[in-house]
Amino acid sequence: MTSKRILVTGSDGQLGNAIKSESLQYNSHIFFFKNKNQLDISNFSLLQNEIKKMKVDIIINCAAYTNVAQAEKEKQTANIVNNIAVENIAKICSKENIQLIHISTDFVFDGKKESPYKENDQTNPLNYYGFTKLEGEKRILEKKLKSSIIIRTSWLYSKQKNNFVYKIINKIKKNDRLNVVLDEFGSPTNSDNVASFILEILPYINNTKTEIYNFSNSGICSRIEFAEEIMSLFGESKVIEPIFSSSSDVIRPRFSALDLSKTKIKFAVDMIDWKTSLKSFFKKNKNLC
């Protein structure tokens, strides 16, 4: 692949950080990593000027408002980041002929299906976070951007602290009660795997209009099974008290695993099993223990 100038928004987030680490292997490209303080994607004219200055070829949009519970209280902020700012990016990409890789979520679905969700399955978000992410997808699809894709992923974790893996480890360390949801099912996904996938496939994205692809680690588990695996790798044995999702502060899809067949066929990639990837994550981040 010829040298590209790549802007990564949301660079302080889980995936943005993982791409920053992974980008060290791609020194033929020029990367611009911008967090929300360095680049206000909600300000159209400012964003457009900055993108022109950087002479960007590709935007990987990792910026998102991801606090599902808080999004119910901060609806305006969630909508600005997940929808309005995404429309800004899509407009600029359309005008300047820039390739866009946008990150979305399994929460665009209602979780009522009993088999993994395909890209063209009916969307029906249950919470405001999912609604804003779906609206952002729509704004991109309207522009019919060439060689651009939306990647839906699920149950993301990373070496950053705001994710399920770290929350469980923190509770173990503090000897707090472990109350974990029994009836939510999905696919835990290592941010490092998503980051390497994105950078690997860039030369092979050649669609005439925006396409949606699912990417997660393979396999399905419940939240409680995920917690048990984390605890096992951490080397602890504590009692996990199961709770039902109905006791949660916000409605989430009960089943949100993603069908990976379209992605596998298009990009000829093998999806790493979630348990295998979690084990690798613990080996790589020994400071967790």
Give catalytic residue positions: 129
Phi, psi of 59, rounded to the nearest 5 degrees: -115, 125
Amino acid letter for position 66: T
Cα 224 to Cα 106: distance, rounded to the nearest angstrom: 19
**Token code pair at residue 90:** 């899509």
Cα–Cα dist 87/139, whole Å? 5
Residue 198 near residue 285 (C-beta atoms within 8 A): no
DSSP state of 27: T
Indicate the angle between helix axes 274-284 and 223-234, nearest 10 degrees.
Answer: 40
Print burial letters for 246-256: b (CB count within 10 Å at least 16), e (below 16): eeeebbbbbbb
What count of residues does the chain have?
Answer: 289
Radius of gyration of the CA atoms of the chain, in A: 19
With 0-12 / 13-18 / 19 or more C-beta atoms within 10 angstroms meaning exposed / middle / buried, residue 238 is middle
CA distance 235 to 265: 38
Question: How far apart are the C-alpha atoms of 98 and 19, rounded to whole Å?
Answer: 19
